[in-house]
Amino acid sequence: MTVTIDDDLWSAVGDPTRRRMLDLLLTDGSGTATTLSDRLPVTRQAVAKHLGVLDRVGLVHVTPSGRERLYTVDETRLARAVDQLSSVRDAWDGRLQRIKRMAEVIQSQRHERGS
């Protein structure tokens, strides 16, 4: 099965702060920029910008909650990201196996010449 890779999604997930935010949101079920900034080594404003990136790629849902905005992870979209990553892993596993077989053939030929 071939999965189309969403570069915007992986660019968003590629940032360590955003990955940590997703971890916190998954663990806690939801969070605000304020609650997340209390647990991360970045300002509330930086957290809000990171949440905006996650929102644009569809990894979080936003619900107004008083003066704050409550963020939850879109688990379907996250599962799609995992599927994409698995597809990339499978493709690279195949490539690495072909490289290994080629290296073994070369080594075997060198060994035969040296005998």
Q: How many domains is the chain partitioned into structurally?
A: 1
Closest to 78 in 3D by CA, of 38, 29, 22: 22
Q: What ranges in 1-115 are assigned the alpha helix state H?
A: 7-13, 16-28, 33-37, 44-56, 75-114
Alpha-carbon span 90 to 103, nearest angstrom: 20
In a domain, 1, yes or no: no
* pLDDT higher than 80, residue 66: yes
In a domain, 2, yes or no: no
* pLDDT higher than 80, residue 19: yes
Residues 32-62 pLDDT 10s: 999 999 999 999 999 999 999 999 999 999 9
CATH number, domain at 98? 1.10.10.10
Q: Answer yes or no: pTM beyond 0.95.
A: no
Domain assignment of residue 52, given as a range: 7-114
